[in-house]
Structure 1
Amino acid sequence: MRRIALGVCYEGTPWLGWQSQAGGNTVQDVLEQALRRFTAQPVSTICAGRTDTGVHALNQVVHLDTAAERSLESWVRGLNALLPNSIAVQWAREVPDDFHARFSAQGRHYVYLLRQHRVRSPLLHGRVAWVFRPLDLALMREAAHHLVGEHDFSAFRSSQCQAASPVRTMSHIHIEQQGDFFLFRFSANAFLHHMIRNLMGMLIYIGQGRQPPDWVLHLLAQRDRRLSAPTFDASGLYLAGVDYPQQFDIPTRNPYDLLYELSGLRFAETVSEKS
């Protein structure tokens, strides 16, 4: 048996998230169907982070065990010939048995792309979120600063979240603006169910002046999801990448370059960090 790691990119709008469901309309279901045809045997996959309905991935990392002998290039081209246009394998690596797409991960990165304009764009529907009220970048950056570090994120977890602990370590947050577009980048050791969409709802409230930046501190202290803003749209959210120990040689992709392909905008990194 060989262990193969794959980097998978997908547009999440047509799918009910990553995780397999009885109806079969998920990214995992479609990928495993393609793998079954490609290897001529049943294949189970494990991913780095389960994305929700409508959420996209730029570099989802998946591993599988198989007896099939294929070149690494065949894993990419052969699978892509069997996958729909909204899903594509970007790279393949043979990895040691102690590699695990989920448990070997040391950090995860998500980006959120948002457009602020008085009129919605049908051309960006499903790929970029939209608000019509003006946003104050400085207020959102000030609020984001309070989120960096280790916190109990109970106020930002879904009621369906199955994580054993609500404590997570947010290593940094980037928030940038170019014209009508805002790009948010979140990096942490791991995320809770709906955590980023709930954080986005809160940051947008603050950016619109509906709450002050230090509202974040109140919500973190209260640990009550009911006190925060509503969960925001899934369409602007992308799993950008996953960090692994260097010995596994897992490829990374620059989310800024990939989002340039989508929006045609160049964003420069600006970091909100706490030591």
Structure 2
Amino acid sequence: MSRIQRYFLELSYHGGPFHGWQIQQNAFTVQESIESALSTYFKTPMTIMGSGRTDTGVHASMQVCHVDISHEFDREKLLKGLNGILPKEIAIHSIRKVTDDAHARFDAIERSYVYRMIFRKSPFLDEFAWTSFFTPDLQKMNDAALILLNHEDFECFSKVHTEVNHFRCQIKQAHWEQKDGELLFHITANRFLRGMVRAIVGTLVDIGLGKKPVESMDEIIKSKDRNKAGKAAPAKGLFLSKIVYPENIYLD
């Protein structure tokens, strides 16, 4: 046994079968699956800390967690071993040594999400996109998305009864693009509230479909009232797509 060393694991997962990221009683979660795989591999109980939670059904093309390991190991063998133990819906892509105080959640500088919409039935994409048979106005949605950058308090897009100290987030970019028959919503911020991105998407789509005017986005945010915003978009279209950390926390 050697000294305890902290590592960042970069991974991705299909969120469909899981009740979100965080361990819960009587529920199948991503965190539980990874901790179980690590504990099985090293034959000792192990815990991880993720960069943040994803809700039931939400996917991640990039998620990061940290783990403290006191055993010597071969990194390639560990990658193969963990991926062999984990369910097919989770893949570990890399293991990087970091400083002892590096923290997957608190050291993240920014996080990005992508939301996918498609407009015709697809047996290949249905699990990973919101299928809509009404095409929203892209320009209106982008005009409304720009209004997000003028605000910091997003209580109106947060799930109610959530335990947070404040509702302030610094949104750095928010825009829609049309690509290969899909509409993709990109959003980056220093932090996100529970249910925030899906509530934003639902509100923007309402605006794109003419149910609300573009100017209503400003009024909705200022109201701080979740009932004023649109319904949450389906979880299956949402992907945690990127997490950025300071380079100086990495040791290799």
TM-score, length of structure 1 as denominator length: 0.87
- 1:1-275 paired onto structure 2 within 5 Å: 1-117=4-120, 120-249=121-250
Structure 1 residue 98, shift from structure 2 partner:
1.3
Shift of 1:55: 0.4
The answer as to whether partners of 2:97 and 2:250 remain within 8 angstroms in 1 is no
Q: Report the AA paired with residue 36 of structure 1.
A: S
Matched AA of 1:13: G
Q: CA offsets per residue over residues 92-144 of structure 1, 9 Å max, x none? A: 01111110000111111111111123xx3233222111111121110010000
CA distance in structure 1 between the aligned counterparts of 2:250 and 2:239, rounded to whole angstroms: 22
Note the C-alpha offset of 1:150.
4.1
Aligned residues with identical type, % of pairs: 36
Whether the 8 Å contact between 2:97 and 2:251 is mirrored in structure 1 is no
Change (3 A) 1:250 1:227: farther
Q: Per-residue deviation at 1:250? A: 9.2
Task: Provide the rounded CA distance (Å) in 2 between the counterparts of 1:158 and 1:180.
Answer: 31
**Contact conserved, 2:63 with 2:240, CA < 8 A, in 1?**
yes
Conserved in 2, the CA contact under 8 Å of 1:72 and 1:93?
Answer: no
Which 4+ residue blocks in structure 1 deviate beyond 6 angstroms?
A: none
- Consecutive unaligned residues of structure 1, counting only runs of 5 or more, are 252-275
Offset at residue 249 of structure 1 (A): 3.7
**Aligned amino acid, residue 62 of structure 1:** C
Unaligned 5+ runs, structure 2 = none
For 1:151, what is the secondary structure of its paired residue? coil
SS of residue in 1 equivalent to 2:124: helix
Q: How far off is 1:80 after superposition?
A: 0.3
Aligned residues: 249
What one-letter code is carried by the residue in structure 2 that aligns with 1:238? F
